[in-house]
Structure 1
Amino acid sequence: MKRALLIGSQTQGLSGVHRDIEAMDDVLSRIGFTTIPSMDGHATTDEILARYRGLIEDTGPDDIAVVYYSGHGGRMRNPLHAEDPTLPTWLQYIVPTDADDRSDERARCVLAEELSLLQWDLTEKTENVTVILDCCHAARMSRRGAALPKANDQLAFPEEDLVQRWRAARAANGMSADGNPNAVRVVACSPDQSAFEDYVPELGGRHGMLTAALVQILDKDLGITWSDALEVVRNRVVAEQRPDIEGPADRLLFSLQTRGALGVLPVRVKGTTALLPEAAVFGVTAGDRYALTKPGSDEPFAEAVVVRIVGADAVLQFDGDATQLPVGTSAWPKDVALTRRPVAVLPVDSPHRAELVAAFEKTAGVQPTDHNDGVLATAQIEEDTVNLFDVAGEPLFAQPMPFHKATDAVRVLAIADHVRMLPSGKDKASLPDDVTVSYHRLLPGGREVEVTSGEHLFVGDQLVVRCTNSSLSNRYVNVFDVGLAGAVTELTTSEGSGVTLARDETYELGREWEEGGLPLMWPETLPTGAPRLESFVTVIADRKVDALGRLGQPGVVRAAGGSVNDLARIVDDLAVGRRDVPRPGAGAGVRWRVDRFDFLLHPSARPAGDEPRFELEERPDNSFRLLLPRGVRPPKRIALRLKELTVHSNRSILKSRVRIDAVVITAAPAEEGGPYRASTMRFDRVKDGDRLPFDDVLIYEGPVARFLDIALWVAKDDSPDTDLADLLVTQTADEQVSNAVITLAALAVAAPAAAAIAGSVAAVAVLVRSAARVLEKLQGNSIGVYRTTLLPHQKFGAADGIGRHPEQGLLRANDMSFAFEVVAVDP
């Protein structure tokens, strides 16, 4: 019996989850699964747990079970970590449809440890289990404005219930999900990345990117392994997320049968012709060579070459009779082209298009296409020259270029993308995760702050890469920078074949720079504009690999005599645009693992000074500002009211007279009052536990666009005649403040590029910092209480026209509790 539990939680701005469920339901039903779609009221916390347990109860030892989830993933800091640093820093969870319900002090989510425990119980019933999670644990970045991160780490669940459940699941399980040897786990991205949903032309709607890629291959009789499928999926998914397979990835799809080599394809015979069915999805092209093996053998009995592609099938030619091939014959890649990255060639009616397409088809790693969805780059033809644009639509060169230079440029981009996606070793070549790689931004005064994949960084920022070896043997580390325009630079130049890390040794890359860290720079030839993706790729091996130094571009050449191990072979393959795969049964040699750190580099310097500290900080990641509301009509005007505020302890203010200052920032034109409003409220004779005597104090009413930024301060009231609004007026002569006001006012009347939206982050920071500075100068002990940003896809906090924050109870910070309300006041 085949059963599939399909869980879809369409919450928090997602709009493609139900289509994900429909697509998975359709494809799995066609291949014999009985599906259990679970959405809306059937995707609550209790229903997810109950239906998962029901699947376990109904499953027998010979059954095939699939558990699929589409929706938000999230994480919150583990409150136990501060007491015991050996415990996980984050508690990870999926977000059911009732996640916003705070009744009964329950945390309505499903923890990763609870999913792991259920998965163990399911694999106790059958070993044939596949779990597919199209979600993520933390939102980090988005290069494409239309792509919506499938993450929500802004939820604050009742801590006591969450910790109690986490402890119970951890005690019952005793092992992580990664330790289950019987479950194939298909995950949408790394734990520190975001997964995305976006419009998928092939499916005619918005879908999770992982789901869209999977459904297009699951119902084809490809006879491939999950490792093979991963290669296809990664080519179809945006580069910001990196899908992965955990567990027994060498299994054939939904089977216990295994095949232990990446890229091996089944051979089918049609009439008198030998074919590799659906091989085009793998980028197989004419001229690729394969070794043919019989079922159960890894010794080749013939060599075949792909002579042409018919539809999606590759036609094989070999010395023999195709009709005599035994059923189950496999084709092992011997000399095949690199997986091709799609490059759009537009417009499709250009008289010169055929010439450029032909040139691209001869270019290693590039596949020309007629649309610009999910492409590596776009080539826009202007007569007999080409303008090149990256995946986000930003120009790669200031001027058009001739066709031959365009082909060279896209080859550089393709190879850079291969380096960025460099795989870790598998099976015998797999290296344990025993070297920790962390990244740190240097601050003034010698301080530093750790940064994680997906950070927004700026020109002039300085980084240090820290590698610590916790294994019992030497490890060898190479770090490469995959630059904004495709340059690949080896950073560990002291030992080209790998910096040696002895047992318990820590190596810091960047300390040798004169300024104290690796300086981030914008290439002189690259036009400025929106922030662009840059990556550090760290290769960790258990022996030195001389070939690794040749990953740098330009100037890579194949070494004479060929490569001696799989990792060296991958490097050689990138040099010439082809990959040689060892004959079946060949040893792996070196073991290696790859660590990747992605960041968005802004072309400008980091805004001067840091924003002031607030006791309660609820702003989402800055990348969420790039989201476009899909299926959501945000209000154009709002009213923001402070509903209630209680002082629990007056010791932090030291006097009974209290003032509350607020600044609200949005994109509003000058004729509507400009981009910010400042207000001051005063209260006398305040004692501990007092609820301040006000009812719905209005702190902003007016237009709203792009974002709604709110900051609150509390202080003793030593200057009863001076309001924050008057104080900020005195700052308008400051050049930074003046430029910030101009920048934000411009956002209200124009459709800005991503760079302008990113620039607004700095402009908001200038105004908040200026408000904090004048209050500190006036009061001396002003306390930053609360800071948040509400965005269009959240309707600026005005859910159903009125949104109370929090929905129930009060927010608490620095001995005070409060609530506020956002009301849509569109005419």
Structure 2
Amino acid sequence: MWGYDMTLRAVLIGAQTFGLTGVHTDVEVMHKVLGKHGFTDIRAHVEKEASYGGITKALRELCRDTRRGDGVVVYFSGHGSLRGDLQYLVPFDFDESTPADFRGFLAAELTAVVRVLTRITSNVTCVLDCCHSGGAVREAAGEPGRWRLKSVAPADVAHDDGLARAAALARRNAPLVPHVVRLAACQQHGSAFEAEVRPGAGRQGVFTAALAGVLDTPAARQVPWSALITRVRDRVKQQHMLQWPDAGGPSGRLPFSLEERSEPERLPLVRRDGRFVVPGGALFGLHRQDSVRMVFPHDDPWREPTDREPGEREDTTVRATVDTMEGGDAVLRTEPEAGPGTDAASDAPAGEASLPAGLFTAELPPGSYALPLRVHDRRFVYVDGDGTLADALRRRLADCPRLAGAHDGQLFATVLLRNGTATVLNRDALPFREPLQANPSQISRITGLLEDLARGDRVRALCAPEGPARLAAEAECRFEIEAPANSGIWRPMARVGELLYEGDRYRVTVTNHSDEPLYFWVLGVGLSGRTALVTNDQPGGYRIEPHGASHRTTRTTKPIRITWPGDVPRLGPRRETVHLLVGDRTMDLNVLTSVGPRRSADVTDPALMPLLHEVWEAFRDQTLEGGDQFHYRVHTVQADALPRPRETGARIR
């Protein structure tokens, strides 16, 4: 399966402290699930082995024993804390801390360990079931005794030594840590909980229970993290917990591997006021009268099968049309399915009479999503060639929801079939990528490339909406480029016509001038046509606190470097687009990014923070999914990238 001699290794750490009672169960459950996924070296550390020294030793030994090509998991269950800028996990012996011996395991120390691991193997997954909301351990309001917060910040624990260690580990220009899939239990400054997730089963981490349940399904091995995390999130939501689990880093990978597969374009789906809604549908290219297919899974591992359901049931699918746009959200109207059993006289909305009754509840089956079938915003492709391959490619284009065959007009791309190769050309007749082989077995690869490029072209055209979807709140946005290169001197970027050279760096700053919290994302459509969520360490958005708050009212990304991908001919200039999107609630924008295998990226490391921030800032702020309408604005830089470094002393425009 893997193609090389490798071992799957895991270190599972469970620090059951300050009132938690389900941590050991978390470790046992993860041990069992990872064993089913082929892990043969699983090292569990609880009680005294989860002390500060025990955690340090366990991770040092993992680094020592890991070999090139191995798959590695680092898992922690317990309390997490944040004191000012000091972020740390809470080991078993945390309460033995002294001013000269702080026993919190710093995020910076975790960063250093993971950096070592990624130098050995690219297959690293970090799972944290904890939070750092900064409050003392307490019962959650509303239902005493059921929920328990997994965060703690004891005021009487001295942390002088922790501050000194953090300062010593900080490196101004430390390289980013790539290749790490980050699975987080909750949002930044939010809360992770443990609870009795099943009657009589005892407490355990709500996130761990949901994650283990999803991974224990037969389909899990063939579904990427980005899709699995939506099912985890839905299961957590069904426990009535205000958590937002997320997957950062290269979340398009299949679990515990480096493999990435092209997946259908899964759009989020919620039930709101008795209607099916695609939140953020405008961002995903939906408009009135577009068609989608809603998919309702039936593989909930927590549901016991009945005698009438001896095996795994197939998913239910229902066709729907975008009826209206409310804010940036698409409200769907289901279409009647042909055949017997359709009751046109039903009191249900048009076309919904034949749907299973359970789909009218407020909570959809975990992992429900929508697939675009036919959209108004299609990209036209001309196939320049003759013969059976050209005809087959034209037929395949007719089945793609965002593509259409054409001979003239506003062409998006041309597929040139010559001498056994297929070259996809852009509007300027420049090849998007290096040529592909032209034979029947490559049709899916060619259309997959076209769909990926069409997604990028659609994202490139994003602009601020007018009308109800427009964000009214005020935010100041600033794009800057470093000039001269590596000088630390930054100047404003031109919004149109800026020339970018290989090796240039830019950054984005957002300041919230409104009285409400806002979220922002940076989307890049690179010179290769690929789309990247540059803020991929927080797919749900970076939170910016309201004007007048004590912290985080302004946030600046780490510098993003322009590189020329190895599979793009060095011909130019090429268009480089940077979108800063500001919205009023969290939204997972991973669906906008390029899918399938990537040989290189359009930025050196798409993540904006070193793992020191990436791991911890995956714990993002709480919002209720499926609440108010989504409103947003888009701020854009349209630049031209050249395939050479900026000359020393060259005049800056």
- Report the TM range for the smaller structure's normalisation: 0.3 to 0.5
Q: Which has the higher contact order (CA 8 A, sep 6+)?
A: 2
Q: What TM-score do the two structures reach when normalised by structure 1?
A: 0.36
Greater helix share, 1 or 2?
Answer: 1
The structure where strand makes up a greater share of residues is 1
Q: Which has the larger radius of gyration?
A: 1
Query: What TM-score results when the alignment is normalised by the length of structure 2?
Result: 0.44
